[in-house]
Amino acid sequence: MTKLSVVTPPVPSALGTLAADFLADCRARGLAVRTVEAYEYPVRSEFLPWCAREGISEPTQLTSQLVGRFTSKLLEDGGKRGQLSRASVRSYVRSVRVFLGWTAKADGGAAAVGASPKLPKPERRIIDVLSREEIQHMENAARTERDKLILRLLADCGLRLGELLGLRAEDIWEPKRGEYALKVHGKGSRDRLVPVAPALYRRLRRYLAGRRADPHERVFVSLRKGADGRHAPVTQSGVEQAIRILAVEAGIEKRVYPHILRHSFATEWLRRGGNIISLQRVLGHADLSMIQGVYAHLDSSDDYQAAMRVLLGTD
């Protein structure tokens, strides 16, 4: 007879238990699925295995020198999936920093870690943006009002693609008389109001009225009804393809995708001397670090022009 042996699963280390608690807490706090996933892989698949190889099982064993070696290892040797760009290393290390910072709050601080990995300096990236003229050429190339409005909301409101797809008719409203806004359901279940120009607001209202859209219905739906007799919401791939086609038809040779319109919106805002705190709120960023890092491509002439608009009141 074949004897059956009972395999006892390995007991997780104190760090492994804390990591599981950390991720469970992230889910309990209602963080976006993608945010939790962005934390989970670096912590579970990169940091914990590295700690195990270094013989680290307790949070208190982590020192500044040790966690510094984790960052160096990623930069020099890459991760489980191969070599990593500097941007990916920064993303991984940032997730580990969030986890280690969380441990200071767990159990009344009993598991506090005395060190945190330093972020490597970011690479200077030149971000492509579209000019207002290029965006107008794309709108002129669009054959339907739906596609024109999709383009305009991405370019004039700085929405993420997921936020655009989630808009419902009831989210287009007038919070104050003469002031128009979109109620956007953003990352991390954070709602915010995004200003919308009066002319664009009126176009949206006419478009929805022409469709006789129900208040709970998605703003952007397919042009044809499905087998169930309803218009299905537009998809992410559908919008991505439409934006690519509009760029080609407008004669734009650079790579164009929905998020480039968000970058273009933010760049134009800053070039015109717009308030960076207001931009943070409009874009739905938790803090200013993302804006300061991503839009460092603005040069000193942009700073000068912005200052002159403030000091001299020029446009």
CA dist 155 and 23 (Å) reads: 35
The per-residue DSSP string of 181-223 comes to EEEEE-GGG-EEEEE--HHHHHHHHHHHHHHT--TTSBSSB-S
Residues facing residue 79 across a β-bridge:
82
Is residue 5 included in any domain, yes or no? no
> In which domain, by residue range, is 229 found?
132-312
**Domain identity same for 156 and 67:** no
Order of all β-strands in the sheet with 191-195: 172-176, 179-185, 191-195
Q: Is residue 92 part of a domain?
A: yes
Q: Among 109, 140, 172, give the residue marking a domain's end.
A: 109
Same domain? 288 vs 209: yes
Q: Are residues 46 and 185 in the same domain?
A: no
Q: End of a domain among 65, 94, 109?
A: 109
The last residue of a domain, from among 45, 78, 109:
109
pLDDT of residue 14 exceeding 80: yes
Which tens digits make up the pLDDT trace of 207-220? 999 988 889 999 99
Supply 102's token pair: 């969380």
Give residue-wise pLDDT tens across range 103-147: 877 654 444 555 566 666 655 566 788 999 999 999 999 999 999
> Is position 62 within any domain?
yes
Same domain, 93 and 204: no
- 6: in domain: no
pLDDT more than 70, % of the chain: 80
Q: How many structural domains does the chain have?
A: 2
Q: Are residues 168 and 265 in the same domain?
A: yes
Q: Across the chain, what does the average pLDDT equal?
A: 82
Could you list the active site residues? 160, 187, 259, 262, 285, 295
Give the model's confidence band at 249: pLDDT under 50 very low, under 70 low, under 90 confident, else very high: very high
Is 124 within the bounds of a domain?
Answer: no
165 in the same domain as 28: no
> Is residue 246 domain-shared with residue 299, that is, in the same domain?
yes
The verdict on 169 and 229 lying in the same domain is yes
53 pLDDT more than 50: yes
Residues 160-197 pLDDT 10s: 999 999 999 999 988 888 889 999 987 766 789 999 99
Q: With a cut of 50, say whether residue 155 has pLDDT above it.
A: yes
Average pLDDT over residues 13-36: 87
- With cut-offs at 50, 70 and 90, classify the pLDDT of residue 304: low
Residues ≥6 apart with Cβ < 8 Å to 121? 86
Q: How much is the pLDDT for 107?
A: 53
C-alpha separations of 269 from 32, 164, 274 in Å:
27, 20, 5
CA–CA distances in Å: residue 294 to residues 117, 227, 289, 310, 312? 22, 44, 9, 23, 28
Q: Length of the chain in residues, anyone?
A: 315
Average pLDDT in the 6-31 region?
A: 77
Higher-confidence residue: 63 or 129?
129
301 burial (CB, 10 Å; 0-12 / 13-18 / 19+) is: exposed
Grouping H, G, I as helix, E, B as strand and the rest as coil, residue 171 is helix
119 in a domain, yes or no? no
Q: Do residue 256 and residue 306 come from a single domain?
A: yes
Whole-number Å distance between alpha carbons of 164 and 194: 12
Q: Does residue 2 form part of some domain?
A: no
- 1 inside domain: no
Q: Judge if 200 and 297 occupy the same domain.
A: yes
Residues 86 and 163 both lie in one domain: no
CATH number at residue 36: 1.10.150
What distances in angstroms separate CA 28 from CA 16, 46, 50, 97, 111, one per listed residue? Answer: 18, 23, 27, 20, 20
Is residue 190 domain-shared with residue 278, that is, in the same domain?
Answer: yes
Q: What CATH code is carried by the domain that includes residue 145?
A: 1.10.443.10
Judge whether residue 6 has pLDDT over 90. no
